[in-house]
């Protein structure tokens, strides 16, 4: 690896004390001693890439998810599974192997005329079939690296960022949690609010705050579950008074996330026809962008509610394949959305939805049910416009 200070090429035996023999300056990360094989220069390069050379600000969790996705890029170029294998595929493999063994058994029985030999062949065929099906199911199920590397995400800041910062200072675009805590105390005044964005993912809201969107766009930010400050309560009152005030949503691709547009108005006491724009994530985005996914336990009552909402007239819009993905309990975090895309999509959404009073009045009077109109607006301005195959960055 190269010294992050003088770029001198260091062999492993020369850097075991984490100090460059050429310039005598220390470095933070030894690639042979961490799971991601991370060096000082590589971590800085990833931070620069995520922040567009310091143009965009990001939270610690966003950097961890960005590095994680970059690690998986080479794997997903050759093999990507949107869901775990079904037992049907394993059963087909078992049946093929078993029938092959059965054919051999019958041939052996005809030649040997021995029932005992035939039974032994039958048992051996069944065992081989079960082993083959089991090995297939286990290998494909374990091919999802999200679950295996999840501990790396959870410990990323202490394992990689903190040592790096102790030697070099803050990473490009990095926003410390102390700064984030201070930004959370500031809310846009109700008189300047042009739109409200809500999310259950705290880092999504923190990223937008760190990049100055509330001040620049007149955007109020709210957590789905609170706690709500006095300023937040004023924004909620504003939403209840004005059903045409755009309420934008960003959430995980999950059952709870997909239900959010339908359930949030009732939860917050809003009008049933409040103007809600769901920007995603949706399960289709996971497949389109080859995003990592994991499995979580989903309450059956939530899944039943989602299916009822999908079947209801003017209900939620989800494809059959998306529903099946959600039934299996899969989840993809909105933290995989890089800050540049997050900022640009939200900026475009607010400016499009609040461009002119005439356009707003036309949209309000359009004879389309609220869900269909919201979906159309989201496709025009949100993550639904992602291209089919986008790079990991």
- In 3D space, the residue among 132, 125, 126, 133 whose CA is nearest the CA of residue 85 turns out to be 133
Q: Is the dihedral of CA 191, 257, 278, 314 positive or negative?
A: negative
* Residue 78 pLDDT: 59
Q: How is 335-352 classified by DSSP, letter by letter?
A: GGS-HHHHHHHHHHHHHH
pLDDT tens digit string along 22-31? 999 999 999 9
If one compares 393 and 361, the residue with the highest pLDDT of the two is 361
User: Of residues 158 and 124, which shows the higher confidence score?
Assistant: 158
pLDDT category at 362 given cuts 50, 70, 90 is very low
Question: pLDDT per residue over 266-324, tens digit each?
Answer: 999 999 889 999 998 999 888 888 888 888 888 899 899 998 988 888 778 888 889 98
pLDDT higher than 60, residue 393: no
Listed in sequence order, the DSSP H helices in the chain are 40-50, 60-78, 87-112, 115-141, 145-154, 156, 162-168, 177-183, 202-210, 213-217, 230-241, 255-268, 283-289, 300-311, 320-327, 339-353, 357-365, 370-381
β 195-199/247-249 pair status: parallel
Percent of the chain at pLDDT > 90 equals 47
pLDDT of residue 243: 92
Q: What is the mean pLDDT of residues 165-183?
A: 92
Q: pLDDT band for position 358 (50/70/90)?
A: very low
**Which tokens sit at 283?**
């399960």
Q: Judge residue 384's burial from the number of C-beta atoms within 10 Å of its C-beta, 0-12 exposed, 13-18 middle, 19 or more buried.
A: buried
Q: Could you give the CA distance from residue 274 to residue 320 in angstroms, rounded to a whole number? A: 27
Q: What is the C-alpha separation between 264 and 232, in angstroms, rounded? A: 16
| pLDDT value at 20 more than 70 | yes
**Taking a C-beta distance cutoff of 8 angstroms, is the pair 285, 383 a contact?**
yes
pLDDT at position 133 is 60
Pairing of strands 195-199, 219-223: parallel
pLDDT at 392: 40
Q: Which residue has the higher pLDDT, 246 or 120?
A: 246
Q: What is the pLDDT of residue 298?
A: 85
What's the whole-number mean pLDDT along residues 351-359?
69
pLDDT at 137: 53
Fill in the DSSP letter of residue 171. P
Q: What is the pLDDT of residue 274?
A: 92
Q: Which of 130-144, 234-248, 324-338, 347-361 has the lowest mean pLDDT?
A: 130-144
pLDDT of amino acid 367? 44
C-alpha 160/C-alpha 143 separation (Å) is: 25
* Residue carrying structure tokens 């755009």: 246
- C-alpha separations of 158 from 33, 247, 263, 349 in Å: 14, 36, 37, 36
How many Å apart are CA 257 and CA 343, to the nearest integer? 20
User: Mean pLDDT over all residues of the chain?
Assistant: 81
What is the per-residue pLDDT across 54-98, written as a single tens digit (0 to 9) for each?
899 999 999 999 998 888 776 666 566 666 655 555 556 556 666
> Are residues 339 and 62 in contact, defined by beta-carbon separation less than 8 angstroms?
yes
Which pLDDT score, from 0 to 100, does residue 381 have? 57
In sequence order, what E strands does 180-285 have? 195-199, 219-223, 247-249, 276-278
CB-CB contact of 382 with 353 (8 Å): no
Distance of CA 70 to the CA centre of its chain: 13
What pLDDT score was predicted for residue 169? 93
Q: What's the confidence (pLDDT) of residue 355?
A: 76
């Amino acid at each position: 690896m190269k010294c992050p200070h003088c770029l001198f090429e260091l062999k492993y035996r020369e850097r075991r004390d984490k100090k460059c023999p050429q310039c005598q300056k220390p470095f933070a990360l030894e690639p042979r001693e961490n799971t991601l094989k991370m060096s000082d220069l590589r971590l800085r390069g990833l931070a620069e890439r995520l922040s567009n050379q310091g143009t965009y600000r990001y939270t610690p969790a966003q950097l961890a998810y960005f590095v994680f996705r970059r690690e998986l890029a080479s794997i997903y170029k050759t093999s990507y599974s949107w869901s775990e294998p079904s037992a049907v595929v394993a059963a087909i493999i078992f049946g093929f192997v078993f029938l092959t063994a059965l054919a051999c058994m019958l041939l052996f029985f005809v030649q040997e005329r021995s029932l005992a030999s035939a039974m032994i062949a039958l048992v051996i065929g069944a065992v081989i079939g079960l082993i083959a099906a089991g090995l297939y199911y286990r290998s494909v199920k374990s091919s999802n690296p999200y679950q295996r590397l999840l501990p790396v995400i959870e410990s990323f800041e202490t394992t990689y960022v903190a040592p790096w910062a102790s030697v070099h200072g803050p990473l490009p675009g990095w926003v410390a949690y102390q700064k984030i805590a201070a930004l959370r105390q500031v809310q846009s005044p109700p008189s300047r609010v042009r739109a409200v964005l809500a999310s259950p993912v705290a880092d999504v809201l923190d990223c937008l705050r760190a990049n100055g969107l509330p001040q620049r766009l007149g955007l109020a930010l709210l957590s789905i579950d609170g706690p709500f400050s006095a300023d937040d309560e004023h924004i909620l009152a504003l939403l209840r008074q004005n059903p045409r005030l755009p309420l934008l949503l960003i959430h995980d691709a999950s059952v709870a996330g997909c239900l959010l547009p339908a359930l949030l108005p009732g939860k917050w006491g809003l009008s049933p026809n409040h103007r809600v724009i769901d920007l995603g994530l949706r399960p289709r985005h996971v497949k389109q962008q080859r995003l990592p996914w994991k499995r979580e336990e989903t309450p059956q009552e939530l899944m039943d509610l989602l299916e009822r909402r999908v079947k209801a007239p003017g209900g939620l819009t989800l494809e059959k394949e998306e529903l099946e993905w959600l039934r299996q309990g899969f989840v993809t975090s909105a933290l995989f959305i890089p800050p540049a895309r997050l900022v640009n999509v939200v900026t475009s959404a607010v400016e499009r939805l609040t461009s002119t009073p005439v356009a707003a009045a036309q949209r309000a009077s359009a004879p389309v049910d609220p869900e269909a109109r919201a979906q159309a607006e989201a496709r025009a301005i949100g993550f639904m416009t992602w291209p089919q195959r986008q790079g990991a960055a």
